[in-house]
Structures are given as C-alpha cells and as structure tokens.
Amino acid sequence: MKGSTLAAVIIVVVIVIAAGSYAVYSLTKPKSSTPSNITIGTLYASSGSYASSSLPEYYGLQAWVNQTNAAGGLYVSSIGKKLPVKLIAYDDQSSTTTAETQYTNLITVNHVDILVADFGSVLTSVAVPIAKEHHYVLFDPTGTGASFFVNNPYIALTSLPTSGLWPLVLGQYLQTQHSNISKIAIVYTPNDFDASQATTLNTYLVANNINPVYYQSTTASSTAQYVTLLQTINSTGAQALIEFGYPPNDIAMFQALKSSNIHFDFTFTVFPGQLLSLLESSTPSGVLNYTWTYPTPPLIQYNSGVNLGPTTAQFISEWKANNSNVAPNFLNIAGYNAGLIIGKAITTAGSLNQTALRTAITTISGNVTTLDGAFVVNSTGAQTGETLPVGQLQPTSSGLQMIIIYPADKATGTAVYPAPVS
C-alpha cells in the first residue's frame, strides 16, 4: 500500500471515531464544498397494484420541484446561496423487492441529499430499515404503518397521521352518534396500514362495550372472492360494514356489493376519501351513494391559517391551470405537501446534514400549517396533527358530494342513516 493511500485510510478511520453518526453520513454522502444542486431521491410505481396511488403522489412531488426551481431553488445558509432541486426517481413497479434495491441505490450509488418514500405503507416498509441503517432521514408522505415509528429517529411522516390514529374519530362517531348500531363487522387486508386501523377500531369498540360480530383479515382481491366474504358477513346480521383496504380492495368490494345485492345500513371504506374519481370510474353507478369514508384534501379544505405554501383552494386552482383543468386528488396534494416540508426542513436546517434536517423537523413541528393541515410530529416522526374526520358521500344532481359529518366543529351537514338502497 502506498504511503499516501495509507495516510488517507488512517484519516478516514480517525474521522469515523471522532465524528460518530455524522461520519456515517459523510462517508455515504460525499459532498463537494460547493454543491451545484440538492438531489432528492424517490420511487414511484408505474404499474402494479399501487400505481393508481403512487403516480399521483409522485406527480405532486414533481410539481413542488418544478415550482421551487422556477423560484430559483432553495436557500441553504451554510452554502450562502439558492440551489436548484434535482429529482432522481426509479420505477419500483409496485414490487417491494425492486423497491428495496432502488432505495439502497439512491443512497449508496446516487448519494442523494434527501430520501423520499414511495406511496403507502407497503412500499415504504422496505425503505424504513434502509434509511435507518444509513442514518438518512426518510421523508415519508403516506406510509402510515405504526411500526415505522417505534424507536426510529430517521423518519418523518409528512402528509397523513399514523394509521393507528385514523379510526379513533370513526370509533367515537359510531359510539356517540349511532348507538343503535350494535352489530359491526370489520374486515381488513393483512398489512400494517390496514391492520393497525382494524386493531385501533376493534380495541376502541370493545373498550366501549361494542363487540364486533365479525373481525377478520382477508387476502381477497377479486369481486368473486368479496362476494363470498360479504355473504359470510351478511349472515352475522351486521348493520355496519367497515372495510380497511387499498383501492383495488375497495373497488372489488363495491363491485361485489352491487353484484350480490347485499346492503348494509352503514358502509365505510378508506379510499373514496382520497381517490374519489378513481373509485367512481371503477365501480357500478350508485354503489358509493351514502357510504362513509375519511375526507382528505381537497374534499376537506384548509383555506385559513396556512403559513407555508398555498391554501387548498389556491393549489386546486394552480393544479387545474397546469393540468388541463383536471382537479387534483389527495395524493397529488400529499406529494406536493411532502415537498413543502422538505423545503422548510432544508431552509430551517441551513444545511443538508441529516442530523440537522431531523432537528429542523422537530423545530417546525407545531409551527407550520399547510394545504394539508397542521404539521405536527412526535419524537419518532409520527404525524399527529393532520387528523381525519368522518364524511359521507351524498348524491346530488351534479354528482357525489362529500359531507363532513363528524366531529361537530368540522361538520358541513348531517348523515343520511340508514343508507338508502341504491
């Protein structure tokens, strides 16, 4: 070994010993003294079961990047100037195996400054341990699985509350507003996102002396499979059906409800509140009428008190102007909102150091309100500020309208119960 090479190795070892966790970042992320841009690495799914959710989220992040660069980039005080943002994105095709490799490459090959997860808990799940191993903050738009935020200082959920919190308002609503519903069925797909919701709701109901007549996970994915499942649930005499799944599950279940002529007085699903246009175009006419869901922006709007980025109404207008008058959905907003939080974290940190970025997230938590609501995270990065109300989709002459039902301080109308047969 040459003397100069040996000296270099000794210097690196000394740095590792002296600088601790920051040295890990320095070794995995070599930086020139004057970087030419800020690199953001992320994944998207152009195909597979998560494409319908992943792509709109990615387009939202892309919109923030374009808008930021049009304004000259982000100011980094330690560098003393604005830097443009460069987005590096790989297609994971809804595969966790592919995603695992690509997340690793973004860190070890591309040496990105910022790591952003793909849509949802399944595709985020493989990013969590990788980011933690490499001491990278994982900016997580919509991966809400509760297990991600246990003893993990390297994650920040930007655009949804952790999924274990979602059904608390739903449970309160069922208990206080529908005490006549005594037979509740809960069915869920066996992933962290859906299972954590089912666990929370079941625990809440049981604690309030409401024992679900059906509480099971399912791997059903086709309409025929859901027909069989619904027949089993219907035989229990259930008045309320609560289904926790991803869009393909919701779609198959609604198709099964129509084809089997089974009707429940109260039907609740997750994704009509996020991807209403997709659910309307993929299910039989009228089957969504009078069903319940979690309303998310733009179905619920934040047009006052916003101190970072546009209001919900302003974003809708800007999005439509840039996208052939097509309105945004929630996942467009979620991706864009993630960009807002990333930008604020960088400008607050004044550098691209991962420890400084995580500290900046703590600093801005509780002090920022965006088009997606109040940004509040706990000590392990779980979002607790962007609470989700309960809403009902009610038909009008111009189409389905989201009526926010509960809690009372957010309500825009009253529920129709029992739900009429379509």
Q: What percent of the chain has pLDDT over 90?
A: 89
Q: Three-class SS of residue 157?
A: strand
Which residues partner with 293 through β-bridges? Answer: 391
Between CA 335 and CA 58 the distance in angstroms is: 6
Between CA 188 and CA 167 the distance in angstroms is: 13
Give me the pLDDT at residue 146, please: 87
- List pLDDT tens digits, range 347-376: 999 999 999 999 999 999 999 999 999 999
Exposed / middle / buried, residue 385 (Cβ in 10 Å: 0-12, 13-18, 19+)? middle
Rounded mean pLDDT of 390-398?
Answer: 96
Give me the pLDDT at residue 141, please: 98
* pTM exceeding 0.75: yes
Interior CA angle at 313 toward 38 and 310, to 5°? Answer: 30
Give me the pLDDT at residue 33, please: 62
- List pLDDT tens digits, range 33-87: 678 999 999 999 999 999 999 999 999 999 999 999 999 999 999 999 999 999 9
Contact 115, 131 (CB under 8 A): yes
Distance of CA 421 to CAs 9, 328, 416, Å? 74, 30, 12
Between CA 81 and CA 201 the distance in angstroms is: 49
State the pLDDT confidence band at 13, using cuts at 50, 70 and 90. Answer: very low
Between CA 193 and CA 249 the distance in angstroms is: 13
Tokens 């025929």 sit on residue: 224
Residues 6+ apart with CB under 8 A from 369: 302, 305, 306, 307, 308, 375
Domains and their CATH numbers in the chain: 1-30 (no CATH), 35-162+304-375 (3.40.50.2300), 167-281 (3.40.50.2300)
The answer to whether residue 167 scores a pLDDT higher than 80 is: yes
The answer to whether residue 25 scores a pLDDT higher than 60 is: no
Between CA 417 and CA 405 the distance in angstroms is: 12
Between CA 267 and CA 421 the distance in angstroms is: 12
Between CA 251 and CA 245 the distance in angstroms is: 10
The answer to whether residue 23 scores a pLDDT higher than 80 is: no
The answer to whether residue 14 scores a pLDDT higher than 70 is: no
Which residues partner with 240 through β-bridges? Answer: 184, 266
Q: What is the DSSP string of 372-409?
A: TEEE-B-TT--B-SS---EEEEEEETTEEEEEEEESGG
